[in-house]
Amino acid sequence: MALIAFGVLNVGWLIMRPTPAADAMKSMLEARPELAAGKALIEGSDCMRCHGMQRHFVGPSFEAISARYAGEAYAVEHLARRIREGSVGIWGNVIMPRHPQITPEQSQQMAAWVMAVPPAAPEAASQVRP
């Protein structure tokens, strides 16, 4: 019985322990609180159905997006437009649906948060072939 309890505690610890990515995200939001609005908009929309933080599902991960556009002056505006208007062919044949209900200001906040996500390793940025 004690072994079962010990095993459950270990599994719980593994699941609930902070990850380096979560720590980096927390530090980023503490350093730049204006990004919290973009994070809240993403969490409240359907973005997470297709995008993960570190893994791609239907669309690329937020880390891969951040890595692909890192250092590009146009990145936030480009992503904001893609959020509102949708796209196809940017990340292979994956379709990014339109989100006309999202205002330009909201899409800018969302895109700013995505670009603030610490970029993935270079190989993750190409996880979905362009």
Do residues 129 and 60 touch, judged by C-beta distance below 8 A?
A: no
Distant-in-sequence, close-in-space partners of 82: CB < 8 Å, separation ≥ 6: 90, 96
pTM above 0.95, yes or no: no
Q: Is 98 within a domain?
A: yes
Per-residue exposure over 34-56, b if at least 16 CB sit within 10 Å of its own CB, e if not = ebebbbebbeeeebeeebbeeeb
The count of domains in the chain is 1
58: domain range? 20-125
The CATH code of the domain that includes 118 is 1.10.760.10
pLDDT tens-place values along the chain, 130 residues long: 665 655 545 555 545 556 666 676 777 777 788 899 999 999 999 999 999 998 889 999 999 999 999 999 999 999 999 999 999 999 999 999 999 999 999 999 999 999 999 876 665 445 544 4
50 is in an annotated binding site: no
Report how far apart, in Å, the C-alpha atoms of 41 and of each of 15, 44, 58, 92 are. Answer: 26, 5, 19, 26
Is 11 contained in some domain? no
